[in-house]
Structure formats: C-alpha cells, structure tokens
C-alpha cells in the first residue's frame, strides 16, 4: 500500500463548528505533515510530526490543532475557523523527517462559511 | 511560450515537443530537491528528486538539472503528452531544518 488517504474529500463548516480532518498511511512512514494550499498557490507547511511527536509548528493559529494518535494516523482538529481558512488541506508522509520523498494524499477541500 | 503575471506562470507546448520548466530556489543551504506534478483536484505527485551532490538526474522521460551556483533547478519533459498537463512545483529541503519549501509553480498546457 503506497497511498495516503484523507477524509473527508470535501467539508463545509460554519465559523462556530468543530470538525476534524483525518489522514492515514500504511507505508510504515514515521513522519507525517499537514499543508495548506490556497488556489493557484504552492502548499504551505503547517505541522510536522516525527515518531508521533510534534516536530514543527509553523506558527499556525491555535484554531488548528493537530493530533497524531498512532504512527499511521494524523488528525487536524478545526474550531472557530475564519472564511480565509478555506483551502485545500493536504496530508503527506515520508519514511523519516528529513531529506526524503514525501507522499501526498488527495487533500480535503475545506470551505468555511 | 511562457507568461508571468497575476496568475500562475504558464508554459504552453505542442504535443510531442520537449518542455522545460524552471525554478529558482531560495536557500543556498538546501540540499535536496523534488519536482511535483499536481493535477486539478489532486494532491502533488512525486516526479523526480535530486540531491545537491549531483547536477543531473534522469528518469523516464524526465530530467532534472541543478545549478547550485545560481540556485536554479529545471525539469525537462521529453515528448510532452496531453497527460502531462498540470501544475508543476519544485520543492527544496535542507538537512538543517528538514522543512520542505515549495516554489510558486508553473502550469504546463499541452496543445494538441
């Protein structure tokens, strides 16, 4: 299995809602990543987990809360988002955190109303 | 031809021609580079990578060239096909920060 899966594919939420994005990989990778991508822009790194511990937080607002329950799963909990948070949220994984090939999931298209 | 403006830079090529997509990277300490292809509605897909101890690497129909002197990376696609139409991103990483930084992207349009 060389795939990163993400659910849901699309999500529409209001500014007072709480929702979660899920990411899963079964490649035995020990590093997992969350990126945010706005239209016509490159992906921007948000968080990096290495061996289930948060390694990098790119000064992301606290309304985004990552969680890595085990080595195969990565969640992104969302609360009190703003319309400008609407974007494609991409999950990726790599063998280790380092100079290593990253595999991306298809993303979750998030719309905040 | 190539155009740069308020939108993604776009490269239009005839089917069967070779394509060259360029990328200027920012950090002279970066020592690993990846080219990604992103089709509409999908996540980025790995195409080819290169480490800083090399200046050229070839894959199937693709070649990456690295010029560290001027911090420039290029992706060459031979015999471009309609399925190559996508947005292409370069990404740089350095073993100091282990963070990937993506370039602005280039849209490749293949004309029949």
Predicted pLDDT at B22: 96
Predicted pLDDT at B5: 41
Question: How many angstroms away from the CA of A14 is the closest CA of chain B?
Answer: 23
State mean pLDDT over A92-111.
90
Question: How many angstroms away from the CA of B106 is the closest CA of chain A?
Answer: 10
Predicted pLDDT at B26: 84
* Contact between A43 and B89 using a beta-carbon 8 Å cutoff: yes
Looking at residue B60, the DSSP 8-state letter turns out to be S
Residue B43 C-beta-side C-alpha neighbours within 13 Å: 24
| Non-local CB neighbours of B32 within 8 Å, separated by 6+ positions | A99, A100, B49, B50, B51, B52, B92, B93, B94, B95
Per-position DSSP letters for B11-49, written without gaps between them: EEEETTS-EEEEEE-S-TT--EEEEEEE-TTS--EEEEE
Residue range B41-84, pLDDT digits in tens? 899 999 999 999 999 999 999 999 999 999 999 999 999 999 99
Residue range B7-41, pLDDT digits in tens? 689 999 999 999 999 999 988 889 899 999 999 98
Residue range A34-84, pLDDT digits in tens? 999 999 899 999 999 999 999 999 999 999 999 999 999 999 999 999 999
* Contact between B93 and A107 using a beta-carbon 8 Å cutoff: no
B90: which chain A residues are within 8 Å (Cβ-Cβ)?
none
Predicted pLDDT at B1: 46
**CB of A39 within 8 A of CB of A33?**
no
- Percent of chain A residues past pLDDT 90, beyond the cut: 89
B98: which chain A residues are within 8 Å (Cβ-Cβ)?
48, 55-56, 97-99
Strand partners, B14: B111
Band of residue A96 on the pLDDT scale cut at 50, 70, 90: confident
Residue B4 clears pLDDT 70, i.e. is over it:
no
Question: How many angstroms away from the CA of A54 is the closest CA of chain B?
Answer: 13
**CB of B51 within 8 A of CB of B31?**
yes
Q: Which of A99, A100, A104 lies nearest to residue B44, judging by beta carbons?
A: A104
Band of residue A2 on the pLDDT scale cut at 50, 70, 90: low
């Amino acid at each position: 299995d060389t795939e990163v899966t993400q659910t849901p594919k699309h999500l529409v939420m209001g500014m007072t809602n709480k929702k979660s994005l899920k990411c899963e990989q079964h490649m035995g990778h020990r590093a997992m990543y969350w990126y945010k991508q706005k239209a016509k822009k490159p992906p921007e790194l948000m968080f990096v987990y290495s061996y289930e511990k948060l390694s990098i937080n790119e000064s992301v607002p606290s309304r985004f809360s990552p969680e890595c329950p085990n080595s195969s799963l990565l969640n992104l909990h969302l609360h009190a988002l703003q319309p400008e948070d609407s974007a494609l949220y991409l999950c990726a994984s790599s063998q280790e955190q380092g100079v290593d090939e990253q595999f991306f999931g298809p993303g979750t298209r998030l719309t905040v109303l | 031809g190539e155009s740069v403006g308020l939108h993604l830079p776009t490269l239009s090529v005839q089917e069967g021609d070779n394509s060259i997509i360029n990328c200027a990277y920012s950090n002279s300490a970066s020592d690993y580079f990846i080219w990604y292809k992103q089709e509409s509605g999908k996540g980025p897909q790995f195409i080819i990578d290169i480490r800083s101890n090399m200046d050229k690497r070839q894959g199937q129909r693709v070649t990456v060239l690295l010029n560290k002197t001027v911090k420039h990376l290029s992706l060459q696609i031979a015999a471009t096909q309609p399925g190559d139409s996508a947005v292409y991103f370069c990404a740089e990483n350095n073993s100091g920060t282990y963070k990937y930084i993506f370039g602005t992207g280039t849209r490749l349009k293949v004309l029949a």
